Structure 1
């Protein structure tokens, strides 16, 4: 893996390998947008929809990673000036590279290759300008910073993880204050947008808050951990989706107990009541499912 992947990213040969040139010619000659779109959507499908056999648990992830690496190679070639005539600005190319490298790094982590994930994330990090993050780059930057925070937290270097996550938190705050709509990841590669950029940004920031709560807890900074746990729960409710209701209720009840032990009884009652409300709503939703329905059969 190291030979093929990192040679292509780090080195800049004057002449591309023959098989790569052929592939790039196909993309440009037919339709540059379709070439990108095809690879991106196929990789996304493999990562989100494909279920692998137990004997080959990472088969689809490996296949998706190869498609994403092809995108990295192509975008690097455009960025380096080895391919011309592509209607992308340098800022757009960099933003796309950041996003694809973050996706590759995520797969690296999922297939238990953290060293490779770190390399890809650092490559993405080198392309970011945090002084001028805009609608093109903000979600990609949050992807990278969150992943770096999680990676170093898993290695139990919580101070280093905290640095990345606080950078993500500050970036979110400064971008939101600009009142600009961020671009969603998929629009970069498909050429169309469904206006989900803000949803993507808020989901990423929810992850930032959650990771910060975990890091502060690991650092035994319990009051800050509680504050970020509350912020995570609040953000999840505000978004109204993409969270496990039962897990949310358990976390709210746990936070309630922590607050009660510190004599913050009003806040404790508030969180406990919220936990009970969400749990009751979830229980009612399950009771509405008929016994012979497909949903019931899957439980």
Structure 2
């Protein structure tokens, strides 16, 4: 890394995150992506300061990273490998930058470039994907690729990425279980690292997003039983974690009730409609805890 104090590198990264969160309507009308482009420039600056990616990871053929590679779409490691040492640490930090660059390009409607960065993120994490430091970032990258391919109407490719995320979550919880590092913590000093409770909250939110996207994919594939199951799981988890937008939650619950009505499951349908009515009543009384709940994590 260039002779720049690590604290300064972290400040640049945090500034990029802040710019990324600026709502589009706050930008000039003729430059709706101005803040996104400014954030991208800062992310590229951090990437340059970190230096080139480790050769053994960066030079892997892209074909190895596509859906169908390995055991579960993108492959699962046989064992947990923690990123130890400066080379591994740099790979993880670069993966965080590649992820944010990918989301940035997608947000500015540059999908091919976004895909390239997200795939590169996964490539850098391949060896460590099941580790405490990398599992959340890996799942988020795959979730975003799932959304991207779904928007391209390549539903089976989206399904592969999203099912891989689900498999990773389940394997991690079975073999490790402790709340993993949030990707942003790679650029935080030790004293500012998140609590175990906050880490768990963020990780469970990532998994809830995964279930929501899977519900949509199964709906597209006309796998209606599965879609209903994942929709129900999503709604339940959103309530448990107090992470939902009342109007959106109520609409989804009411939509789910129609599935149960068609299956002649009237008690379940009634329960969904009653819950939708209760949650809808919260509109205007509480702040939206997830203003963009079903967008990219």
Q: TM-score range by the shorter chain?
A: 0.7 to 0.9
- 8, 16, 28: which is aligned to 1:53? 28
Measured in 2, the distance between the counterparts of 1:182 and 1:250 equals 32
Name 2:265's counterpart in structure 1. Answer: 264
Matches within 5 A, 1:180-219: 180-191=178-189, 192-195=192-195, 196-219=198-221
TM-score, with length taken from structure 2: 0.79
Cα deviations by residue, 1:26-52 (Å, 9 ceiling, x for unpaired): x1xxx22x1221111100111114621
- 130, 140, 162: which is aligned to 1:165? 162
Cα deviations by residue, 1:242-297 (Å, 9 ceiling, x for unpaired): x21111011101101211111111211221111111112335559xxxxxxxxxxx
- 65, 71, 76: which is aligned to 2:46? 71
CA contact (8 A) 1:98 1:141 kept: no
Measured in 2, the distance between the counterparts of 1:257 and 1:113 equals 37
Unaligned runs of 5+ in 1: 1-20, 81-86, 287-299
CA contact (8 A) 1:52 1:58 kept: yes
Unaligned runs of 5+ in 2: 56-83, 288-297
Structure having the higher helix fraction is 1
Measured in 2, the distance between the counterparts of 1:198 and 1:95 equals 20
Cα pair distance change 1:174/1:234, threshold 3 Å:
same
Runs of 4+ residues deviating >4 angstroms: 283-286
CA contact (8 A) 2:128 2:134 kept: no
Measured in 1, the distance between the counterparts of 2:255 and 2:137 equals 33
CA contact (8 A) 1:36 1:190 kept: no
Name 2:96's counterpart in structure 1. Answer: 99
Alignment partner of 1:251 is 2:238? no
Between 138-147 and 188-197, the greater mean CA deviation after superposition: 188-197
Helix, strand or coil at the partner of 1:77:
coil
TM-superposed CA distance for 1:76, in Å, is 3.5
Name 1:144's counterpart in structure 2. Answer: 141
Matches within 5 A, 1:4-19: none
CA contact (8 A) 1:253 1:275 kept: yes
Q: CA RMSD in A?
A: 2.2
> What is the aligned length?
253
- 11, 18, 26: which is aligned to 1:38? 11
TM-superposed CA distance for 1:98, in Å, is 1.7
Computing the radius of gyration over CA atoms, which structure comes out larger, 1 or 2? 1
CA contact (8 A) 2:179 2:203 kept: no
Measured in 2, the distance between the counterparts of 1:69 and 1:285 equals 38
Helix, strand or coil at the partner of 1:55:
coil
